[in-house]
Structure 1
Amino acid sequence: MSLLSVKNITMAFGSVTAVDDVSFELHAGQLLALLGPNGAGKSTCFNVINGQLRPARGSVRFDGHEIAGIRPRDIWRLGVGRTFQVSATFGSMTVLENVQMALLSFGKRLFRFWAPAAGFYRREALALLERVGMAGEAGRLCGTLSYGDVKRVELAMALANRPKLLLMDEPTAGMAPAERHAMMAMTKRLVREDGLAVLFTEHSMDIVFEFADRMIVLARGKLIAEGDSATIRNDEAVRAAYFGRLAQPCMSAGTGTPSNVPLESL
């Protein structure tokens, strides 16, 4: 049985249909990439799954629960973690304190003022930081970290609710190539070790083709393709969505011979 089942979700903003009758499934232990050009509906689809938007119609079932339209905090407590394209950490707090705050929230202790918060979940926070390679930076202020390290802290925070499903919106945006590969290799390890399911959006196609188990592609709100890397590379509808027309053989410079336009060039 699938961990996440999205069926026929539709979301419109006025006369614009951002997500149009989209269906897909995700199983535990899989990395599923959600792809598409700008304006394809990826963020809207994420926000529907995460509860920030209520779909006009359709169903989102997670681990046997219907979650379409319920509050994000309730979805989080069911075991859905999320990282954002713009990192959501507190720059004036230490690395350790950021993760402790996430653990305090999950433990429903944020509004219990009679005990110092710094004493709670310290060992658990350090264990999460160890998993993402940031335990050695626990005492540093988040505002002094490199962008790649901030994303690692955010991932540790996203693991605070012991998620079964992790939603990652552009997890490697703004990173150097080596940092991108390190981040996704670490995510792949978490999937393998914990049996996590991960749904992620990503514009770096080298990352997608190297780490995703499966891919789904949206264009103008509709799901146009689904499959492994070979299937997506050779799908004409995908080429049309990215290039604005079906990719036709083009002339190699100076040779007069045709050569196919590779999807890897995106």
Structure 2
Amino acid sequence: MLSARGLRLAFGGVKAADGIDLDVMPGEFLAIIGPNGAGKTTFINMTTGYLRPQAGAIEYEGRPILGLAPRAIVRRGIGRSFQLPQLFAEHTVLENAALAIAARVGIWSPLTPLLRPGFRKEAVELLARFGLEGVAEARADALNEGARKLADIAMAVALEPRLLLMDEPTSGVAASEKMGVVETLVRVLREAGVTAVFVEHDMDVVARFADRVAVWSQGRILALGPPGEILADPVVRREVIGIEAAGAAPAHG
């Protein structure tokens, strides 16, 4: 579905991408792990048009996408969510969902009612899929972090992507909520047939939900394979996971 070849990007003397080769297969959930500064978010930013590599190529469904603006990439079928939820804080959750639907169909006009019947119905159904129907009328800034993450990803799903890239979907979510949040988003994405790539620091989440794991280290892919194999690798445990392998809280950033 997605093919990256020879991606290189440096910021000064720091190599954020140092020859990245990666294929994403249709229908899979691919986790990207690695220490802070390894280039994980840089890869997502290059794939979604926010950064352009100095060398290399990216193809989506067999067509090159490098050089396209983020909006054009979204229209091709690639969505993303950010580490910090990108919600309109002063609007309700329902209005946020309706805004995403309006963006998908290309309607942006102050003369057009946002919550027209068709938009409202689709927005309500979308929120119900994420278990957010109970907070539909709440302002986005009143939600807890788990609900904010789900609402943010619901907005991305409203754009009907076939591939969704998520940057730390559990970042900031309370430990007691984390598995429930990921279970919900994985269920919704699999039901919709969406392929997913997600950056994650919680190795329990990776072990439970990833089909494959790509290990980033200093702008390179150190290892790639099924989670059981990768998370048991002594080099990965020592150099990448570090204290996380011993069950300590992972670092975020």
Match of 1:88 in 2: 86
Match of 2:176 in 1: 178
Matched, 1:114 2:116: no
Query: Number of aligned pairs?
Result: 247
Match of 2:76 in 1: 78
Offset of 1:240 from its aligned partner? Answer: 4.1
User: Retained in 1: the 8 A contact 2:130–2:188?
Assistant: no
Worse overlay, 228-237 or 31-40: 228-237
Offset of 1:231 from its aligned partner? Answer: 1.7
Match of 1:99 in 2: 97
Give the TM-score taking structure 1 as reference length: 0.87
Match of 2:55 in 1: 57
Identity of aligned residues (%): 39
CA distance in 2, matches of 1:114, 1:174: 38
1:234-245 equivalences under 5 Å are: 234-242=232-240
**1:161-196: CA deviations, max 9, x gaps?**
111011111101111223211121122213431221
Match of 1:232 in 2: 230
Offset of 1:18 from its aligned partner? Answer: 0.8
User: Retained in 2: the 8 A contact 1:168–1:200?
Assistant: yes
**1:95-115: CA deviations, max 9, x gaps?**
1100111111111111x2322
Give the TM-score taking structure 2 as reference length: 0.92
Match of 2:245 in 1: 263
CA distance in 1, matches of 2:189, 2:138: 28
Which portions of structure 1, spanning 4 or more consecutive aligned residues, are displaced by more than 4 angstroms? none
CA distance in 1, matches of 2:244, 2:178: 22
Change in Cα spacing, 1:221 to 1:199, as seen in structure 2 (3 Å) is same
SS in 1 for 2:88: coil
User: Retained in 1: the 8 A contact 2:93–2:139?
Assistant: yes
SS in 1 for 2:158: coil
Change in Cα spacing, 1:243 to 1:154, as seen in structure 2 (3 Å) is closer
**1:104-161: CA deviations, max 9, x gaps?**
1111111x23222232611111111011011222111111111111111111101111
Paired amino acid for 1:199: V
Match of 2:32 in 1: 34
Offset of 1:69 from its aligned partner? Answer: 2.3
CA distance in 2, matches of 1:71, 1:264: 42
User: Retained in 1: the 8 A contact 2:34–2:241?
Assistant: no
User: Retained in 1: the 8 A contact 2:127–2:136?
Assistant: yes
Unaligned runs of 5+ in 2: 249-253
SS in 1 for 2:172: coil
CA distance in 1, matches of 2:241, 2:73: 37
Work out which of the two has the higher radius of gyration on C-alpha atoms and give 1 or 2: 1
Worse overlay, 113-122 or 221-230: 113-122
CA distance in 2, matches of 1:157, 1:232: 32
CA distance in 2, matches of 1:164, 1:32: 14
CA distance in 2, matches of 1:10, 1:143: 38
Matched, 1:8 2:10: no
